[in-house]
Structure 1
C-alpha cells in the first residue's frame, strides 16, 4: 500500500477461456487459470479484452484456505497485527506516532489503529475490542469511530479497525493468491489484500486489491519493487472498474510464476508484469481495512461525512501452488 501507481482507469471486461472455472463461489482443491502464452516484453501491460492472443492453462493445487466458518483468531491461521522481521523498520509498517508497535502504518497517514480482543493500547488490561465478525460464513472486518472515552488509550486515532496476516503461519513462494470479497466505499475507506516478503523487508510488495473509497467500483492492482544499488522504489499497476464491487462478491487474485505476475478479476487475467528483481523470498498474505490515506489517491482523510461504521466483507481467502 504505497504511492507511485501508474494508473489507467478502464471498464473491466470479462474474457471467456474455455478452461476457466465457471463456479466462482468456491475455491476447489484443484484450479486451472488462463495466462497469456507470450511473456510480457514490456515492464507491465494491461490486457485488451478483445486481444486475440493465445491463452494457456496453469494447473494448481490448493495449499491454504479459510472460508470463515469460525472466528479468524480461533483457527490459528491468522495474527491480528503486523508481525515484523529482521528488516522490519525499513518497511515502515511498525507503528510510529499514534500507535503501538505493529498496530498501524503512520507513514501512510492512516487514521485507524488495529485492535483485537486482547489488545489494551496504553492500558494494562485488554479492552475487549473485536473488529472481526463472522456471520453465515462471511467475515467482516469492521471499522468504527473510536469511542471518545477510549481515544486517549488508543493514541487518539479516529477509528478502530482490523488487520489479519499469515506471517509465521503461512508463507509461499510462487502460486496463486485469491480473495473473494465485497469492497466498502466512503471517504477515507481503504480496504486491501496484499503480500509482503517473509523476511520482513519492503519492498517487494504485491497489492492484489486496493479499494479507492471515494471512487465506487475502482479496484487497484499494483506491484512494487526496489532498484539496486540506488535503492529507489518502483511501482507499476492499473485501476479496474468493477461497478457492482461494493454490492456483490468478486474474486481478486494474483498468479506468481518464475517469470511473471498475472492479476485476475473473477479468475480472468486483466494485467501482468515481468517479475522484478528482489522477489526471492516466500510471501505472506495480509487483509486489512485502513481508514485515511496521505498518498493513496481516491481515499482521502476521514471527515464528518465518513461512515460511522464500515464493513469489509470477505467470503474466503485461498492460496494455490503451481503443479509440476
Structure 2
C-alpha cells in the first residue's frame, strides 16, 4: 500500500481463480480460538507462485492471539489508532490537528485524494471537527469514504474525500503466524480498500499486502509481497491478482500465513499463492486496514472523478491473528 511507484524487479503477475461463495456471516459468528490451515511443504521459490491443487500440503495448528469482531466502535478499546504512527518528533497534538498533520493521515506519494479522519481530528485547526468514518451495524464495521464537505475542504488540506484508517502499531504486532480479515471489497472509480502489514520498527519495506481491491475492476483483488535487496537497495515486488466474483457483495476471508521459510496467501482459508520469505522480514509486523481514494500508479483504481461514488463503504466483519502452537 505504500510507495507503489518504487522500482521493481519482479513484475506483478496476473492470474484468475474462482472461488465458491463464502459462508453466510451468521455461520462464522463464533470465531474459534484455534484453527488448522493447510500449508505447502515443497520448497518455496524466490518468486511467488500460484498454488495448484496438486501441491503437497500439511496441516498447521494455530492459536488466536488477536481478535476484533467489531461489536463496538473500533476506537473504544484502545487497540486501533486512526492514523499512521510517528516518532518523538511528532507530538500527540500533530495527530489531532494543525498545519502538517496531514502527513500522518494520507500516503501522498501514492497520489491518494483522501485524508483519514476521526472524531478528534481538526485538520489545519486544533479544534476537533467531529468527523467519524467508522460505523458499526450488526457487528460489522464500515469504513466510510465520502466527498469532503465544501466548507471543510480548506481545513482538510483540499482533499477530495474524507475516509478512515486503523492500525495496530504500538498495540499489537507479531512475528510469524496467520493474519486474516473477513470483509466485502467495495468498488467504484478511485476506490482502493486494503488490509496490509508493516514492520513494527517503522522501516519500509518489508510490506505484506494481504488484500488490495482494484475499485474499477469488481471482483479483482491483489495479494503482494514487497522487499528490498540490501546490496542494491532495489525494491522487489511479487504478487498475483485473483478473481472472487462476489467479493463486493459477499463476505470472504483474506489471509496470510507467515512461516519461517515462506509466506502463504489464503482466500476463504484455501492457499492460493506462496513465496519464500524474502530478506528483511526480521521484525514483528502490525496490521493496517484502510479505504483510500485515488491512486496514480496502482492499476484499476485511478483518480477520483465525477463517476466516483459520493460515499462508499468498506465492510469488515472481523480481523484476527493467530500464532503457531510450536512457536
TM-score by length of 2: 0.90
2:322 alignment partner, one of 307, 320, 323:
320
Q: Cα 1:183–1:26, aligned 2, differ >3 Å: closer, same or farther?
A: farther
1:40 aligns with 2:44: yes
Deviation at 1:30, TM superposition (A): 0.2
Judge conservation of contact 2:46–2:278 (CA < 8 Å) in 1. Answer: no
Partner of 2:162: 160
Match of 2:175 in 1: 173
CA distance in 2, matches of 1:203, 1:212: 22
Residue by residue over 1:153-202, the C-alpha shift from the partner in whole angstroms, topping out at 9 and shown as x without a partner, is 00000000000000000010000000000000000000000000001110
- Counterpart of 2:116? 114
Corresponding residue for residue 12 of structure 2? 6
Which shifted more, 228-237 or 137-146? 228-237
Equivalent position of 1:220 in the other structure: 222
RMSD over aligned CA atoms reads: 1.8
| Partner SS state of residue 104, structure 1 | coil
Q: String of CA shifts for 1:89-117, please: whole Å, max 9, x gaps.
A: xxxxxxxx986231100000000000000
Q: Are the counterparts in 2 of residues 220 and 239 from structure 1 also a CA contact under 8 Å?
A: yes
CA distance in 2, matches of 1:98, 1:181: 32
Q: Give the TM-score of the pair, scaled to structure 1.
A: 0.91
- Residues paired across the two proteins, number: 306
What pairs up with 1:239-318 in 2 under 5 angstroms? 239-318=241-320
Query: Is the Cα contact below 8 Å between 1:251 and 1:267 reproduced in 2?
Result: yes
8 Å CA contact 1:86, 1:200 repeated in 2: no
5+ unaligned residues in a row in structure 1: which ranges?
A: 15-22, 89-96
C-alpha separation in 2, matches of 1:56 and 1:148: 55
Distance 2:129 2:289 in 1: 22
- Distance in 1, Cα, partners of 2:224 & 2:324: 22
* Deviation sequence 1:46-95 (CA, Å, 0-9, x none): 122xx32321001000000000000000011100000135899xxxxxxx
* Structure 2 equivalent of residue 92 of structure 1: none
Match of 2:109, SS state, is helix
Distance 2:126 2:169 in 1: 26
| 3-state SS, counterpart of residue 149 of structure 1 | helix
Q: Residue 306 of structure 1: SS of its match in structure 2?
A: coil
Q: 1:262 to 1:85 in 2, by over 3 A?
A: farther
**Aligned residue number for residue 17 of structure 1:** none
